[in-house]
Structure 1
Amino acid sequence: MSSQEITVRSQELGERLRGFRAGAKLTISDAGKRIDLSTSQLSRIETGRRRPNIETVTALLAVYGVTGARRKTAMALAREACEDGWWHRDRPDFPERQHTLISLESRADRIVNYEGMLIPGLLQTGEYTRALMADSKLVPESEVEQRMVTRLRRHAVLRRRDAPTFTAVIDELALRRVIGGVDVQRRQLQHLLEMAQWPNIRVRVVPNAGAHAGANGSFSLLRQPDGPTVVFLENLTCSLFVEDRSEITTYEKAFRSLLTQALAETQSGEVIASLATAMDAEADSTWSPPI
């Protein structure tokens, strides 16, 4: 299987099989011998570069002692590993839906993200995220802490020594939307300025001046050095991973267009700093952003 044939599903299957093997405390050589696979063959399965047949996956799961829901999920991935695109509609659990995104972000060498309503997830402070979940009334209180843990797992990718480059294009309206009160929003903007100083992070602001290529919603593009480029889309109940080359080209074109309309990094920083300063000066919940 060439890198062009690697799919999100085959990578997800490989990662799960690797985790199962680690849980069974088997080396890749020992596991391969159990089912008559070479170390290189099993290694390629675990990296998504080789699509195993159903019999091989069944045998590996038996060796690793995997049963129940985990086995069912792995078998479904094995049956669908060659398919492009993945609609996570059958995963109501938020951390489970985020698992694939976290895996993709960990393998990416470049991530670009457009956000029109909110601060990008990878750049959110904990209190901003918590306020967003609480104020939206869509996240049960019992799930907030679990989602916070999931978000922290996502943030870790930007702090690695080999972290991907991350370009965030943010609509100015997202900066002016006060989440959690003025103090929370001000600290979020200050955090955004701090993150923009990191060598692998670029923050660009699209000024509030008419329509643009992001008018139809937020999206992320994740480029993998050893796998397909993937577009990630998300709504309230499901996630979508787009792998079709023609669709990805459309999103790449949209992002290039957004970059032409966005302010330069220095100007973007000035806009963010100006809003943060204005909030700091007012420091009460009756504050409203300047027109």
Structure 2
Amino acid sequence: MTPNPLARRRQLASSLHALRTERGYNHAELSRRSGVSASVISRTESPLGDVHRKPNLLSVRRLLDALEVPRGSTLWTQVEGYAEDAAGAGWWEAPTYAHMGDGQRTYALVEAGASRVWEYAGLLLPGIVQTAEYARHRVLAVTSDGPASNPEAIVAGRLERHRQLIEAGKAEYQLVLEEQAVRRHPVPPAVMLEQLRRLLALMDDAISVRIVPVDARLGDGYAPRAPFAHTSYPDLDDPPIVVVDNVTRALLVTDPDEVSGYARLHQRLRDAALPDADSAAYIRDVAAELAAAT
């Protein structure tokens, strides 16, 4: 499986920062020794400043030379490998998806190469399981001052994320949904019915979905304030990442303690939710009620 580019940028950043501090160089001193600007060094060591910025392979090699890492050594090969993986192209960079939105591009970047995604959603179904029509209606309604500028590109991005992660069967996907997400109708009834049937088909084939009833007991009384996705990778040296959806953009959580907290929260929500089979029955009942009313 192709490594996650952002995870490898973080590995690259950590390795270069450790080597620089071990040698006792600040950014300016390493810049003089390597010929790489201090700003480039700083950005390479801070990959979360712009998660879509790729490292320059030539600059990384110059830094390794300046840091006196022997060419061909295990360390050189490892760090150079991080840089090569970090600079790899993702499907979301293709011209077809150029206008799918920065937030969704961030989701696609984080999901690349994932082995497991634990997602929570409150009032709406998350983009990665949406049908084209559900997604299209939600995209057109996403702003208060008018429709999104390129709705079809955004819809195409959501469908491709689904193909890459769920349809391809490359990762375990667990979704916890609040009851409102299937009871509410944020789209026309026929579109909502199609969406519920699609969700049931996915539950039969590929994913786990659990419904949290409105009267569920959460134990410690804590409930999430926003949708989030906790993503893990097959290489245990690549740390998990959480994406929090705050409507206007996707926020990344990378602090290990906070990331672990989200994992525990997702597990508590799953424990409080209806089991998979009961959740499927619940969704079937809602779909039947909706079909009878349309």
Task: Provide TM-score, normalisation by structure 2.
Answer: 0.67
Tell me which residue corresponds to 1:98. 104
Tell me which residue corresponds to 1:232. 243
Change (3 A) 1:205 1:13: closer
Which runs of no fewer than 5 residues in structure 2 stay unpaired? Answer: 1-6, 14-45, 66-70, 88-92, 94-98
**Which among 158, 180, 194 is matched to residue 173 of structure 1?**
180
Matched, 1:222 2:222: no
**Which among 122, 134, 141 is matched to residue 116 of structure 1?**
122
Task: Please state how far the C-alpha of 1:181 moved relative to its aligned partner.
Answer: 1.2
1 CA distance for matches of 2:143 and 2:288? 29
* Contact residue 157 and residue 164 of structure 1 kept, 8 A: no
Which runs of no fewer than 5 residues in structure 1 stay unpaired? Answer: 22-27, 49-56, 58-69, 71-92, 284-291
Cα deviation 1:20-49 (Å, max 9, x = unaligned): x9xxxxxx9xxx89x99769454321224x
**3-state DSSP of counterpart to 2:101:** helix
Change (3 A) 1:94 1:214: farther
Tell me how many residue pairs correspond in the alignment: 227
Tell me which residue corresponds to 2:25. none
* Contact residue 130 and residue 144 of structure 1 kept, 8 A: yes
Task: Please state how far the C-alpha of 1:14 moved relative to its aligned partner.
Answer: 9.2
* Contact residue 115 and residue 232 of structure 2 kept, 8 A: yes
2 CA distance for matches of 1:96 and 1:14? 9
2 CA distance for matches of 1:272 and 1:149? 26
Matched, 1:45 2:56: no
* Contact residue 3 and residue 228 of structure 1 kept, 8 A: no
Change (3 A) 1:273 1:133: same
Alignment of 1:108-187 (within 5 A): 108-138=114-144, 140-159=147-166, 161-187=168-194
The letter for the 1-side match of 2:211 is V
Task: Provide TM-score, normalisation by structure 1.
Answer: 0.67
Alignment of 1:185-200 (within 5 A): 185-199=192-206
Query: RMSD of the alignment, in Å?
Result: 3.5
The letter for the 2-side match of 1:134 is L
2 CA distance for matches of 1:188 and 1:248? 30
Tell me which residue corresponds to 2:262. 251
The letter for the 2-side match of 1:173 is Q
2 CA distance for matches of 1:162 and 1:216? 30
Tell me which residue corresponds to 1:107. 113
Taking only the aligned residue pairs, the percentage that are identical comes to 26
Change (3 A) 1:241 1:137: closer
The letter for the 1-side match of 2:275 is A
Task: Please state how far the C-alpha of 1:94 moved relative to its aligned partner.
Answer: 5.6
Task: Please state how far the C-alpha of 1:99 moved relative to its aligned partner.
Answer: 2.2
2 CA distance for matches of 1:237 and 1:135? 13
2 CA distance for matches of 1:46 and 1:13? 16
The letter for the 1-side match of 2:245 is E
The letter for the 2-side match of 1:128 is Y
Matched, 1:264 2:270: no
Cα deviation 1:162-186 (Å, max 9, x = unaligned): 5100000000111011022111111
Task: Please state how far the C-alpha of 1:260 moved relative to its aligned partner.
Answer: 1.3
1 CA distance for matches of 2:52 and 2:84? 4
Matched, 1:278 2:289: yes
